[in-house]
Structure 1
Amino acid sequence: MFQLTNFKPTTQISKKERFFNTKISKSILLGFAITCLSQYEAKAQFTLTGQVRPRVEVRAGQGTLQQEGDKAAIFTSQRTRLSAGYSGYRFKLFTTLQDVRVWGQDASTINRTTTEANNGILLHEAWAEISLVDTLSTIQNLSVKAGRQEIAYDDQKVLGSLDWLQQGRRHDAIILKYANKGWIADIGAAFNQNKELNTGTVYNGTNPAYGAGTNGIGTMYKSFQYAYIGKKFFFGDLSFLFFKDDFNKYTNVTSGTPPVTVKVNGEGVWSRNTTGIYYNVNATRKLNFMGSYYYQGGRDKDGRSLNANLFSITSTYQIGRKLFIGPGVDYLSGDDGTKTVTADSKNNRFDPLYGTPHKFWGSMDYFYAANGFGKQGLLNYFFKIKYNAKDNLTLALDVHGFESANTLSNGAGGELNSYLGTELDLTVKYNLTKIINLEAGYSFMQATNSMASAAVKNVANADLSPQFAYIMLNIKPNFLAKK
C-alpha cells in the first residue's frame, strides 16, 4: 500500500521550508504574469504610415466653362498625412493628421495673418473601435466605432471618402458594426453642433472646417442616421442602404431700407431619406455587371418635398489578360426646366449625398462636384477602356456623353437642346515601387451652347473646348515595415 511517509502537516513545516515554498510560488506567479504580458504584447500592434501627394494641375475650363481669351490656370496642391494606429485586446485606435496647401500659398517667412488665413492643418481622422465580443466568439466582428472617420460603401457613388479631393471627406459619427459569414451590417449616426451650448440645438451648418455634400449643397447636415446591410455571394455582392440626413430649419427674414433678407435658423429639422440597393455580379468569368438604384424622398435642405431617383449600370468585359472594356449609363433625375420653382413645388433633383463625383461623372468635375450645374438632372452615357500594359503600368480611357435628364429652358419660353457635351478622360498610372506611384491625366470636352446657357453653367462668350491636365506623385510609406 502506497504511503506518504515524508508528508508533514502545515503546522510542522519549518520556517526555512516555508520561505522556499513562498519564493517558488512568487516565481511561478511572476512567470505566469510575464507570459500573459508577452502574449498581450504579441497581439497588440502599432502602425505608423504617411502620405505625401503633390499634384500639378493645368485648368483651362475645369469645373466650369471659361470665357474666350481667358488664360489657363497652373498650380500645385499638396496633401501631407501622418497616420498612427494601435490595436490591442478588443480595441483599436487610429488618428490621421492632415495638411493641405497650395505651393506658395503661405509666406516664406513667419506672417501671422497669412498663416492663420491659409491654415490647412486639421485632424482628418480620430476614432476608436471597441469589440463587443472576445476572441473566442463565433461572430467574426461586433464592434462600436466612434469618432472622426471616413465612411465609404460599395462603389462610393453616394457614400465615399472622396480621395481625389486633396482634403478628402470625413464624418464625426458613431457606428455599430457587425460582420459574420459574408454578411455585413452597420448602423450609424451623427449629430453636429457649432460649439458647446447651454440652451437649444440650433446649427447653422456653415462651419468652413467641414466639407459639404455634393451638388453644391452649401450646407452641412445637422445629423444623420443610416443602416447598411451587405452580403457576399459566390457570384458577387449585394447590399441595401437607408440613409437619412437632417438639415436645420430656417426662415428668411426681410428688414431695413433698402430691404435685406437674412437667413435665420430655428429649432427643428427637415429630413431627407435615401434608400437603395447596389449589386456587383459576375455573370461569367469575364463579364461583370455593377449597378445601383436609389430613391430620395422627404424634404430637402430648404424644406421642399423630394421625389427623386438614381439609376446606374456598368458592364465590364475582359479581353485576354490585360484589356477590359465596357459601356454604362447613369441617370439622375431633375426638375423640368420650363416650370417655375417655388417653395411649394416638388423637388425632383437627385443629390448623390456624400459620394465621389470625380469617379463617375467625368474628371473635369462639371457635374455633382462643389459647383452646381443647373437643376435638370443628368444622363451620362459612357464607355470605358482599361489596359494593364505591365504589372506596374495601367492605361485608361473613358468617353462620356452628357445630356440633361429634363427639359432645358432658354429663358424666353422655348427649349434648348438637351445634349451638353462629350468628354474624353485619359489616365496613366505607374507604380515605381510599392509605395511610390505616379499618375497623369488629360481631359478634353467638346461642350454645346446648352452647357454654356443660363440653365446650366451660365457663362457668356464661353470657350466650348475646355481642357484639363494633371500629374500627381503619391508616396505612402509604412514607417514600421520590416526592410
Structure 2
Amino acid sequence: MKKILISLILIIGTAHLSAQELTVSAQLKPRFEARHGFGTLASPDDEAALFVSQRTRLSIDFATEKYEVYMDIQNVGVWGDVSTLSKSDKNGTSFHQAYGVYHFSEKFAIKLGRQEIAYDDQRIFGAVDWAQQARSHDALLFRFKPGNKSKLDVGFALNANGETNFKEDYAVNQYKSLQYAWFHTNFTENTGLSLLFLNNGMPYNKVTGTEPGGDPITEQKTTYSQTIGGRFTYKRDRFNFNAATYFQGGSTPWSGSTGTQDLSAYYLAADASFKVIDVLKLGAGFEILSGNDQDGDITKNNAFNPFYGTNHKFNGWMDYFYVGNHANNVGLVDIFVPIVFNQNKLQMRLIPHFFSADGTILEPGFQKADSYLGTEIDFDVKYELVKNVNIFAGYSHMFATESMEIIKGGSKDETNNWGWVMITFKPTFFKKKFDEPKG
C-alpha cells in the first residue's frame, strides 16, 4: 500500500507535464446485515448471522486526448475478521480495476487490463456492484463506433494460473477463455436494440486412457458454449418497455464427473412500467430461465446460465437464484410487480416476486412436485444525506413452499428473512485539467 501511495503522489506531482485531466476519488461502503434464510432456507437450529462488511476503494483516472489510465485500488473485509493488533488485512489490498484505453481515432479504440464489463441491464455481463468485491475481468476489448447511434465492442480473455514454461491445468473456478461481441444501436430517440454473442470456454477433464490398474487417465480440455440474443428497449413520455431473449448451445462441463453435456437452453423476459404521477411508478414483468427436469436425460443440459451478470439485481434480493447457486438446476419463472416512489432525495421500492420452477421437480417418492417455489417481498429505501453521501436500508422476506425445500433444503416454516443498512461515501478528492505541452 505504501508503494501505491508513493506512486499516486508522483502522478499528481508530475501531472502538469503531460496530463489533460486527473481525477482522484474514493468510495467507502460499510453495510450491516442480519441474515436468516438468505440464499437458502433456514433450518430449525439455525440462528441469524449478524455482521458488517466494508468496501474501501481509491480510484485514479488519468486521461489525455489519446489515452486513459484508470485504477481502482480496493480492500474488502468484514469488521473483526482480523485482530485489532493485526499487521495486515485478511483479504489484503488489490486492484479491482487497472486498465488502459488508447484511442486510434474517434471511431476506434482498444481497452485492455483488469476491468468491469457491463452491458444493457447487466443480465449477462455486469459489474455486480452490490457485492463488496464486485466483478472484474482481465480482458482485451476492441471498441468501434460506426456512427453516432451505434457502437460495437469485441472482447477477448485468456486466463492462466501464472507464468509457466509448460502447459498446466487451470485451477481457478471460472472460464479458461472467452470471446464476445456486443452491438448497440438506437433506431430512434425512443427505441434501442442490443445484440450479444458470447463464446464461453470452461475447463473440464477428458478421459484419454486407462492406467494399468484400471483408473482413468484424464487431460484438461476446454469446452465452449455459445450465448446469442438481444434486448429491445422503448421509452416514451411516462412509459417504458423492455424485452430480451437469449439462446445457449454448445456444451458445458459435466458437474461432478468427467466429460461434457450438450447444452440447449433459453431465456425470455419482458417488463413495462408507467409513471402514474411524477413521484410514483408502477410496473410488471417476467423472466423465464429454462431448466433441467429432475427426471430428464442427465446427458443433456437445458439450464440457462446468466454467466457474469449482476444477478443480485434480478429474481429477488435474497439471492436464492443464480448468485453462486442454482446453476444447472430446474430453472426459474419469475413474475414481479415493482412499485417505486421517488421524490427529491428519497426513493422507496416495493417488489413482490412470484417464483416457479421451469423444469420438473420430484418429491422424495419420485412423484412430480408443484412447480410453485414461493413468494419473496423486497423493500428498500434510499435517502441522500448530502451530495455523495447516501444511506440505504432494506428488508426482504421469503414465503417458501415444499418445492423450495426440495431444491434448497432447510425449512419453509422458519422465518426466512434478511435486513440490512448501508451508507456510502463517494468523495472526489482531486480533479483538475491541465494543458498538454506543445511540440
TM-score normalized with structure 1 length: 0.80
| 2: CA distance, partners of 1:403 / 1:243 | 27
Larger radius of gyration: 1
Alignment match, 2:117: 151
Residue 243 in structure 1 maps to residue 201 in structure 2: no
Residues 8-60 of structure 1: per-residue CA shift (max 9 Å, x gap): xxxxxxxxxxxxxxxxxxxxxxxxxxxxxxxx979710110100000000001
Residues 63-113 of structure 1: per-residue CA shift (max 9 Å, x gap): 1011124211110000000010101230000011110000000111136xx
| 1: CA distance, partners of 2:132 / 2:208 | 37
| 2: CA distance, partners of 1:386 / 1:473 | 20
Alignment match, 2:350: 397
1:462 Cα deviation from its structure 2 partner? 4.9
1:435 Cα deviation from its structure 2 partner? 0.6
Return 348-357 or 227-236, whichever deviates more. Answer: 227-236
| 2: CA distance, partners of 1:76 / 1:272 | 38
Alignment match, 1:32: none
**Structure 1 residue aligned with 2:189, among 234, 241, 264?**
234
Alignment match, 1:427: 380
Count residues in correspondence: 409
Residue 480 in structure 1 maps to residue 434 in structure 2: no
Residues 326-354 of structure 1: per-residue CA shift (max 9 Å, x gap): 1100000011122252xxx2110000010
Q: Which amino acid aligns with 1:242?
A: F
Q: Which amino acid aligns with 1:131?
A: H
Q: Which amino acid aligns with 1:119?
A: N
1:186 Cα deviation from its structure 2 partner? 0.5
1:370 Cα deviation from its structure 2 partner? 1.2
Matching of residues 45-64 of structure 1 within 5 Å: 45-64=21-40
Gaps of 5+ in 1: 1-39, 134-139, 207-218
Alignment match, 2:418: 468
1:288 Cα deviation from its structure 2 partner? 1.0
Alignment match, 2:280: 323
For the 8 Å contact 2:397–2:417, the answer to whether it is kept is yes
Change (3 A) 1:470 1:120: farther
Residue 370 in structure 1 maps to residue 324 in structure 2: yes
| 1: CA distance, partners of 2:237 / 2:190 | 10
Residues 185-208 of structure 1: per-residue CA shift (max 9 Å, x gap): 00000000001121226322x2xx
Alignment match, 1:132: 104
For the 8 Å contact 2:252–2:261, the answer to whether it is kept is yes
Residue 294 in structure 1 maps to residue 251 in structure 2: no
For the 8 Å contact 1:308–1:333, the answer to whether it is kept is yes
Q: Give the number of the structure whose residues are more often strand, by fraction.
A: 2
Matching of residues 64-463 of structure 1 within 5 Å: 64-110=40-86, 115=88, 118-133=90-105, 140-179=106-145, 180-200=147-167, 202-204=169-171, 206=172, 219-232=173-186, 233-251=188-206, 265-266=219-220, 268-282=221-235, 284-302=236-254, 303-339=260-296, 341=298, 345-372=299-326, 375-388=329-342, 390-453=343-406, 456-459=407-410, 461-463=411-413
Residues 273-313 of structure 1: per-residue CA shift (max 9 Å, x gap): 0001011112x422111121000000113321100000010
| 1: CA distance, partners of 2:230 / 2:168 | 33
Change (3 A) 1:339 1:141: same
Alignment match, 2:437: none
Q: Which amino acid aligns with 1:249?
A: Y
Spell out structure 1 runs of 4+ moving beyond 4 A: 40-43, 252-256, 259-265
1:223 Cα deviation from its structure 2 partner? 0.5
Residues 343-378 of structure 1: per-residue CA shift (max 9 Å, x gap): xx2110000010011111101000001133771110
| 2: CA distance, partners of 1:462 / 1:263 | 44
Alignment match, 1:12: none
| 1: CA distance, partners of 2:315 / 2:180 | 25
Residues 106-131 of structure 1: per-residue CA shift (max 9 Å, x gap): 111136xxx57x22421100000001
Q: Please, what is the CA RMSD of the aligned residues?
A: 2.3
Alignment match, 2:436: none
1:265 Cα deviation from its structure 2 partner? 4.7
| 1: CA distance, partners of 2:351 / 2:155 | 35
SS of structure 2 residue aligned to 1:452: helix
| 1: CA distance, partners of 2:238 / 2:216 | 58
Q: Which of the pair has the greater relative contact order for Cα pairs under 8 Å at 6+ separation?
A: 2
Q: Which amino acid aligns with 2:408?
A: K
